[in-house]
Structure 1
Amino acid sequence: MAASAQIAVARATAAGGVGDPSGSSRPRRPGQNGGGAGAGRRMPLVVLCGRPGSGKSRRAAELRAALGGPERQAHVVAEAEGGRAALRAEVERRLSRRDVVIVDAGNELRSIRYELYCVARQAGTARCLLHCAGGPGGPDEPPFEAPDPRNRWDRPLFTVHGEEPLPLAAIRGALFESTPPPPHRATRTQPLQSSSFLHHLDRVTQEVLAAVMAAQRSGAQPGEVVRVPGVAEGLVLNRPVSMAELSRLRRQFISYTKMQPSDENLPQLASMFLQYLSRSIQ
């Protein structure tokens, strides 16, 4: 194994991502803890990140061939129309007790990798991050925030350079032989704290959608600021947005917001929804 891959494995082991955290030396069959139809957890998630030209798509194909087989399929999630929200929705849809999900899209930013970390933790599945180092770079390339193994959402972390082989044994250990962390209170669905919260959330998000659609019908051009009554900041639409897309984003926002309901957030719900739309509509 190349030196850089050994370093990556060491980092992952130190972070608790490889092997059985209980310290048990009992061998396990490949796919145990997540392969069979009767398993109590979902199959794992592999997130790839790296600069353009670093070989992510080639590595995703290698992982798909190595992790798939008679017992399970491996799906590669690439770029999806609808941006960040659509990517997350596709990952959530693909996660199952039978298949491995490999994400080869939109993972240049820490915030996106954190969202996928939350998806995996909420689903109770193991995950790992593969950093494809290198790439030509250049002034016109999109920003890239390199993973840091000190961040829980960036570990277990494996790094590969150029043509060196993937550390497949260590990756399989992280995915199939480790115990995923339990869902955190912040990612576990909670009962509503207030009977009025859901009603207010539904009404506010409907009002925001109505304002956005009304602005588009009135001839708002890409780049103009859409104003919502009672909200200080506006929404800059860089492209036309259909009602179907807005409704899908609204459902996702409601689902995420219900995880941490709080009457203290009621005055900020419209602003929070506008910020969510701004991040999701690229």
Structure 2
Amino acid sequence: MRHAHLRTSKLKMPLITITGYPCCGKSHRATQLASYLKDRITATPNSKLTVELISDDTLNLSRDVYGDVRVREKDARAALLSAVKRSLSTTAIIILDSGNYIKGYRYQLFCEAKALRTPSCVLHVGAREDVCRSRNEARISSTDEKAYEEAVFDNLIARYEEPNGMARWDAPLFIVVDEDENVPGEQIWNALEGTVVKSHAATVITPAKEGNYLHELDRGTTEIVSRIQEWQKDHPEGGGSVSIEGIDDAVELPMGLVSVGTLQRIRRQFVSLNRVHSLEKSRVRALFVDYLNDSFHGS
């Protein structure tokens, strides 16, 4: 196998997040991608890059954890995230093979990669629901430990938040479907190699050391939600740009009114994501404006 000259100095510690329905073939595609990347590295003289695959299986996470959303599944996601953080290095390409079906979780992974100034991308393994269900039923019949209980399978399908390439945390987005013989390995390599990573207020992660940080996190986000509600009272037609005092960027509202419930849901997601991995207090409001704009226009 011959490849063009590879500018490996630009390809540093990328994170590739794989997502898709349960039983869609994520692990098969992860193995294909790992094999492709290893071949590219082998063909590159003096390359020190390695490929590491992190998955439910490598961490010995059983499918049963997804039957307990509040505790065991939450702990499983935390374990996967911790493994990614430990493995990110100047010479490792990390492939995360798991459901990664929650938009907020993919955003968190994106933040971890961006904070280390490394490129990242998402590979969506597309498969029809009926095909995935048939595969899971076959696993149940053969008592395969990788099978999901029917109720758990249904719940994961219902809660799946499909990636959208317009959202920063899902971009660049690559898609592979059942009919594709191989993963788009070359496109993924080229995208990661050519990405120039810049830190951003939304992704520069620091420990939560400042006093009253959680108070500022709650107060700052609440004030912005209130400001949006006030704007919408005066602009019943919906849409528009809402300026926030002290913040350069405005909140760009979508067409139509945004419900209070939607605003509060986005605020709760943001607060939850940033309780531990926090910004300086002075950046909380700017980050929340950025998160709102991504939520409105990236999904």
TM above 0.5, yes or no, is: yes
Amino acid at match of 2:83: E
Does residue 88 in structure 1 map to residue 81 in structure 2? yes
Instruction: Give the corresponding residue for 1:157.
Output: 173
Matching residue of 1:52: 22
Given candidates 277, 281, 284, the residue that maps to 1:256 is 277
Residues 27-38 of structure 1: pairs in structure 2 closer than 5 A: 29-34=6-11
Opposite residue 110 of structure 1, the aligned amino acid is K
Q: Indicate how the Cα distance of structure 1 residues 255 and 29 shifts in structure 2: closer, same or farther if over 3 A, else same.
A: same
In the alignment, which residue of structure 2 is the partner of 1:113?
Answer: 106
CA contact (8 A) 1:48 1:104 kept: yes
Equivalence for 1:125: 118
In the superposition, relative to structure 1, how do residues 52 and 122 fare at CA in structure 2: closer, same or farther (>3 Å)? same
Match of 1:221 in 2: none
Q: Does 1:73 align with 2:50?
A: yes
Distance of 1:127 and 1:193 partners within structure 2: 27
Q: 1:253 to 1:155 in 2, by over 3 A?
A: closer
Q: Unaligned regions of 5+ residues in structure 1, if any?
A: 1-26, 35-41, 202-251, 266-282
Deviation at 1:106, TM superposition (A): 3.6
Instruction: Indicate the SS of the match to 1:32.
Output: helix
Whole-angstrom CA distance in 2 between matches of 1:192 and 1:144? 30
Q: Distance in 1 between matches of 2:95 and 2:112?
A: 13
**How many residue pairs get matched?**
179
Aligned-partner Cα distance in 1 for 2:54–2:191? 20
- Could you give the per-residue CA deviations for residues 197-237 of structure 1, whole angstroms, max 9, x where no partner exists? 48x99xxxxxxxxxxxxxxxxxxxxxxxxxxxxxxxxxxxx
C-alpha distance in 2 between matches for 1:89 and 1:47: 14
After superposition, give the CA deviation of every residue in 1:78-109 in whole Å (9 maximum; x if it has no partner). Answer: 02453222211111111111010000014011
Overall identity of the aligned pairs, in %: 30
Q: Which residue of 2 aligns with 1:178?
A: 195
**Structure 2 CA distance, aligned partners of 1:95 and 1:49?**
19
TM-score (structure 1 length as normaliser): 0.55
Q: 1:119 to 1:192 in 2, by over 3 A?
A: closer
- 1:190 Cα shift? 5.6
2:268 corresponding residue in structure 1: none
Could you give the per-residue CA deviations for residues 231-257 of structure 1, whole angstroms, max 9, x where no partner exists? Answer: xxxxxxxxxxxxxxxxxxxxx987513
Q: Which structure: greater helix fraction?
A: 2
Q: Normalising by structure 2, what TM-score?
A: 0.52
Unaligned runs of 5+ in 2: 62-74, 134-149, 217-272, 286-299
Instruction: Name the aligned partner's letter for residue 176 of structure 1.
Output: E
**Root mean square deviation, CA, Å:** 3.3
Is this contact kept in 2: 1:84–1:106, CA < 8 A? no
SS at match of 2:123: strand
